A = this chain, B = another copy of it.
Amino acid sequence: MNPLRAVDPDFERRVRASFGRQRFMALLGARLESLAPGRCVVRLAVRPDLAQQHGYVHAGVTSAIADSAAGYAAYSLFPADSSVLTVEFKINLLAPADAEELIARAQVIRTGRMVTVVHTDVHGLKAGVEKHVAAMQATMICLHDTPDAPATRS
């Protein structure tokens, strides 16, 4: 993997502001732990109200943080006046997410003017031990000259 370079020197502030506007991340209790050009880590403390029928974390929660991490890994590389959208993703649930915390680590594997491809691994943390619970491959698109904020609620 070649080192990736951010064209916007202020990318961290821009990405963190956008993550802060994702009200669903707040509902889940997810936080943006760390950021670098083409990389993003999102972390979540597991709660009982995030569970599926067996008491493990719902695949939708795992997908949500993996998708946000992927989107912001991509967005860190985009120009300042752009916005990011998820075109699609595919996720394999590798093991039941029986964990105290989930950590989603995203890494851009291909970036272009329009299309950026990101891989995200999600690990569950329990009693200090990490377990690989999900792997996502996602396609993001860069909307150039598009403000990254709600259009109708300024």
Which A residues are within 8 Å of any B CB, using their own CB? 18-19, 21-28, 48-55, 58-61, 63-65, 67-68, 83, 85-96, 109-110, 114-115, 117, 119, 132, 135, 137, 139, 141, 148-153
Query: Closest CB-CB distance, A66 to chain B, in whole Å?
Result: 8
A88→B60 CA distance, assembly (Å): 11
Is A139 a contact partner of B23 (Cβ separation < 8 A)? Answer: no
What CA separation (Å) do A111 and B89 show in the bound complex? 18
**Contacting residues, chain B, for A117 (C-beta < 8 A):** 88, 92, 94, 135
> Once the chains bind, are B88 and A93 in contact (CB under 8 Å)?
yes
Chain B residues in 8 Å Cβ range of A27: 27, 49-50
